Amino acid sequence: MNKSFIFNKPSFKTIRSGLRRNSTDAEKKLWSKLRNQQLGKLKFYRQYSIGSYILDFYCPKVRLAIELDGGQHAEAQQEFYDKIRSNYLKQYNIRILRFWNNEVLKNTEGIILKIVENLTPPSLPLN
C-alpha cells in the first residue's frame, strides 16, 4: 500500500474546498461546535481526505472521523459503499461516528455529548 499522500491528497484540494463551500445546514451547525478546538482542545478538520475518501470531519490526534448522513445513506447501494469506506478507514485505526443530518439539526447538544464520549478514554476502575 503506497502511503504517500494518503492524508489530504493535494489532488483533492479543489474537491474538498468545494464541499466546504457547499456545506449542508447540519455540517455548518456541527462545525460551529467543533471548530477552534472547542472540544477537549482537539483540532478537527472539515472535508479531510484519507485515501480516495473525503470525511466530513476528522480529528487526527484521536483518529476520529465524524460523518453526517442524509437520507440517501439509507439506500442499499449507499450502505454498501459506506461499509467499504468504513473498512478502509479501519485499516488506519480510524473510528467513525455517523449521525443523520436531521439528528444534528434537532439534537445538536446530544450529538456533541456522543462525540465527547468518544474523545476521552473510558475510565477504568482502580483496584
Domain ranges of the chain: 25-118
Q: How confident is the prediction along the chain (127 residues), in pLDDT tens digits per residue?
A: 445 568 888 888 898 988 889 899 999 999 999 999 999 899 999 999 999 999 999 999 999 999 998 866 556 777 888 899 999 999 999 999 999 999 999 999 999 999 999 987 655 555 5
Model pLDDT, residue 72: 61
Residue 94 near residue 50 (C-beta atoms within 8 A): yes
pTM of the model: 0.84
Architecture of domain 25-118: 3-Layer(aba) Sandwich (3.40)
Distance CA 79, CA 43 (A): 29
Q: Are 58 and 48 in contact (CB under 8 A)?
A: yes
pLDDT at residue 22 in the model: 87
Q: What angle do CA 21, 23, 29 make, to 5 degrees?
A: 125
